Structures are given as C-alpha cells and as structure tokens.
Structure 1
Amino acid sequence: MGIAAINNACAHLQNASRARLGLTSLPNTKYNLHLMLALHRAGFLSSVTRGGPHPPEDLSAPPVPITQANVATRRLWVGLKYWNNEPVLKRAQAISRPSRLVTAGLDDLNKIARGFPAGAAEQVS
C-alpha cells in the first residue's frame, strides 16, 4: 500500500499544479504526511495542514484532534507554490513501482540530493 499511496500522491500533486490550484487535499496517511512534510521542507509546498473534509478556515488554527469517530474523514491540506505564474512543482513522479522497488544507500542518496545520477535513480533530475 505504501508505494501505491506515494505514486497516487505524486500524480495528484502533478494534476493539481497543472490545474493551477492553490490548495488541494490528500488522504491523511503516514506515507502522505512524511512525503508532504519533506516537500514542504524542500520548499516545493507552501503549507501542510491536517484537517477535515472541508478546507480549513485558517491554516494557523489548531487542528481538530483525530479520534476513532473521525479518523476516516481526516485529510492533509497542501498549499501549492507558484513562481512567475508557473508551478514550483511541475513534475512529481515516483521512480519506484510496486513491481520494481528502487532502493538507495547513503552514498547514492547523497549524490541524488546534490543532483548527480546514482545507481537505479539516474532518472532523477
């Protein structure tokens, strides 16, 4: 379920940025949360907020606590960034698939983070 969820999140972010949406939502899962927080720290997203089925009124408001009664309705609300009327995150594509898992060691991750090709992740640019 994890790799499929990441692929779905990447496709959703790409479609939302092509549609020029300012705010979009994803299911509140562990994989989606960690991916969105990593993209936010890297500067691709303007905000990441937990909320309900409707957009939060104020992004700085404290989130509603997750309980057994409302866990299925929780969403991650993600603010997309644009620069000169172009999306900052134009293309989001996972390189792993359920049929082909791509892993990388610390040395390869260091190269990828600097923009160099490394191992099976040479497509990343």
Structure 2
Amino acid sequence: MNTLFVMIGGFFGAISRYALGEWVYTNNGFPLGTLLINFIGCFLLGWFLTFVGQKNNISTNTTLFIGTGFIGSFTTFSTFSAETIALLQQGLFMLGLLYVLASIILGLLLSYLGYKLALKEGDVT
C-alpha cells in the first residue's frame, strides 16, 4: 500500500515538474526551469518534513504521498547533473559554475527557510 501512495504522488510530481519546466522560459542555455523547480522542492521539503515532525497526527501514507512521491519526483538531481555537463561541454564554464553554486547554496538556504517557517507555524498552533 505504501508503494501506491508514492506512485500516485510521484505521478503528480512528475507532471507538475514537466508543466513548470515547459512554462519557464530558458535563456542562453541556462536551465532556469530546473533551477526554479529544485528551489521550490527544497523549500517545500524543508517545510514539510519539519511540519510532519511537529505533528503526531500526520499519517505515513500522507508523508509518503507528499514527501517521497510528489516532492521526490518534482525535483530532479539527475537533470541538474545532465544540464551542468551540457553547459560545460558547450564551453559555458562560468554559467555552469553559477548553476552549480546557485543550486547548492540557494537550495540549502531555501530548505532552511522552509524549516524555519514550519517551526514558526508550530509555535503559533
């Protein structure tokens, strides 16, 4: 049954990633869509896992559906890696470096901000 929740969440996450990736304009080969998708995912997962950790009444199925399924398939490390290699192969070394640094530094910052937001919301309730 757990697999079913991950699968359904994964379906919706993958469709959302594709739709957002198609919607976001990419300029000069810079993978803005993937960057934005991964930033959103970092923030959401940081918030969600903290929120779930504070609440005892969140079911395992909900956590698997949202955290593992939806957010797990919404974000994409493999595409990030492939796009970084493509930038480097095109000789766009500075753009590739910017992409890697922005992904890591801002991704961690957004995960932290999601975590802090969930903690703040937990204080209110």
Task: Report which structure shows greater RCO (CA 8 Å, sep ≥6).
Answer: 2
* TM-score bracket for the superposition, by shorter chain length: under 0.3
TM-score (norm 2): 0.28
TM-score (norm 1): 0.28
Query: Higher helix share goes to which structure?
Result: 2
